[in-house]
Structure 1
Amino acid sequence: MSTEPFDAVDVIRTKRDRGVLSPEQIDWVIDAYTRGAVADEQMSALGMAIFLNGMNRAEIARWTHAMIESGERLGFENLGVPTSDKHSTGGVGDKITLPLAPLVAAFGVAVPQLSGRGLGHTGGTLDKLESIPGWRADLTNDEVFAQLRSVGAVICAAGPNLAPADKKLYALRDVTSIVDCVPLISSSIMSKKIAEGTDALVLDVKVGSGAFMKTLDDARELARTMVDLGTDAGVTTVALLTDMSTPLGLTAGNAVEVQESLDVLAGGGPSDVVDLTVALAVEMLAAAGRPRGEDEVRAALSDGRAMDRWRSMIAAQGGDVDAPLPVAHESEQVLAPADGVLSRLDALAVGVAAWRLGAGRARKEDPVQAGAGVVLHAKPGDVVRAGQPLLTLHTDTPERFARALEALDGGWDIAAPGTPVARTHVVIDRID
């Protein structure tokens, strides 16, 4: 006979019938699922009921709290400096964490950046960094604290005891088609970030074809929900809505994105990557109580301060900062069929192509190729000539080219010469 205070079937029925889950029901179902007393098929049913019927603000807050309570909390009170973190909802060519963490650390704010791996068309920060020979993602809590004291920034995998309920639920959401659900996305992201114990959090909520949130209204709802969750938990939280209709920068992959990040840290790099890195750094510094102007932040990219932090950060995790990055064995170019202006380059098409070339994975356990990816030779608004390379595809396995080219079919348009094409600003809105 069960001694559980609730029955999973009753909890599922409440949400199925559009009811409101009580705090006690939520606490119990998250705890029971984490310890195996609620089965995967029952949590799948509850997840689908939430997907279809939603949750109110109090339910989402309690669900997030219960996921935090399923594991340990880190805390950085003893560092002696403020901490600030950034989370992106995922996009194509989104290498911003790489230059951003050392840039913010250069101003005396510690950055504990717990990151993830890629799944599907969105790349993972850890996969990118693992293309650096020797670099390791898995650190103990003691190693994280030591590196924050010595370097001021760390990018690593979250430990197994941080919101373990989220790890189980994340895998379940992926295989039951309930990923793009505001209550479940927001509680997943914020449970990990609040448990991490950072003082301040800046959210980069992507909107457009290459993002989970395709419309501005959906992105705003997600941003608002997450900002409220952070604020209610005592974390200074702000969100930027940023454009993901076109890939960020000129690369999508792993080693190719690390190289582009190095270009930014050396004072160069594509303007959209630099602009977003600087905008997020300004927000992170202000949220941590160390405000700096945009010009001052840009200067730290061009004068080498951010690069110095990067080198220390990578070396501290075993990475060889001077080793050449991996290069794919095979490449193939996509050429412009006519003269004109590139009017559209779809982020999703490029992301799926990079994934099919081997830069991403279909399942969590799949390996990724360090050298695989897509390099862009033009962005919307650029003049192109017939026969000019638009994209170069890279992979170690040339049999992948055909499927990657299929993904790109219809993913770009060339307008007649002289056609005006508006260049979009990468930052669309700010929510606090």
Structure 2
Amino acid sequence: MIFSPQTHQPARCRRGPLRVRAAAAAPRRPRPRIALTLGDPAGVGPEVALKIAADPDIAAACDLTLFGSEQLLRRAHAELRLCLAAHRAGAGWLPDMESLSLADVALPGWVAPGVVPHLATNASGEASFRFLEAAVTAAMAGDFDAVVTGPVSKAAWHAAGHRYPGQTEYLAERAGAAAGSYGMMFVARSPSSGWQCNLLLATAHVPLAEVPKSITRGLLDRKLALLMETLPKDLGYPRDKVHIAVAGLNPHSGEGGQMGREEEELIGPWLEAQRAAHPHAWLEGPVPPDTMWVRPGRAFRGGPRDVEQLQPADAYLAMYHDQGLAPLKLMAFDQAVNFTAGLPFVRTSPDHGTAFDLDGGLADANSTKEAVLLACRVAEQRRRHAEAAGGGPGAAAGAAAGRGAPAAAAG
């Protein structure tokens, strides 16, 4: 059925161009219900969403609903067909608009005419914000097991009056998450070795000059606790045996205090205290930032035997944004997924931006595909974790709908 994201209630299925596919025979376990937002409609978001909706692997894995504007999606569909024809590329993969499952989000009258392809405007910012707002509301109401967010333009958001640093901060506010209780995490599974790299950022959207004073014992306590919770509940790792590598802040981890004192005075003593508090965990560090990514890089590019020999960590804690994301994107740009740890509902996102400058038909949907598949695994792991905790199937369904504690995604 088509539901109204404004009232959060099922709406009468109307005659019209969009309809929801009829439900298949009930499986033993319900399929994950995934909400995918279009992101900024002036960028690659609508094209990527259409490619995802047409992907047979996605159709086999979940029940997918797009959150966006019917008018803007139809416009993108028509423009994409023209672009493909101009490049003499086949358009056979384009999904039939009549078969899409779409939550048609109402927009103010000025928005759709103001959306200009390849240009960040207040109109495109308003549209992408409302798409996200509607999807989060539906997930928090239990209508979806996970939200996969398309890329947005922060400049367009700000032009529309939405002064958030990014989608993560908005999601945390909606979920009522306290500062430090959630985190920006990136997950990438190697197509050659099967090993999964899990990265958590201690600080995210913070100017580099402010990073040292932002890193405190309290912050590190909360980020490590988040990892300790997320690895078993959301990513399926054994709770009693986790390996976490913690980066230093300075070159060579300070070289004994010669290149900075944070490792000697803060990170090192903090790690010693955490090792005593968590004897079941292998807490490695402070690892020199320039060498921390050697083992994971080789494990990601290699095969299963390399993983066994190298013993890369189960998770990596980077002190700041580019310390973690520059090497990760070099290693796994098309496979990496942004996962917001610590929220009561599952949220993933591709690790690329709006790509306003990209011609139609050229957008790579692989990162978004990985984001949807990870969301499915996390939702299922949360279900399993809730059942194992003794809540039974009913509690598991509540957790998967975002009403229970975070649970997990098979690693």
**TM-score normalised by the chain length of structure 1:** 0.31
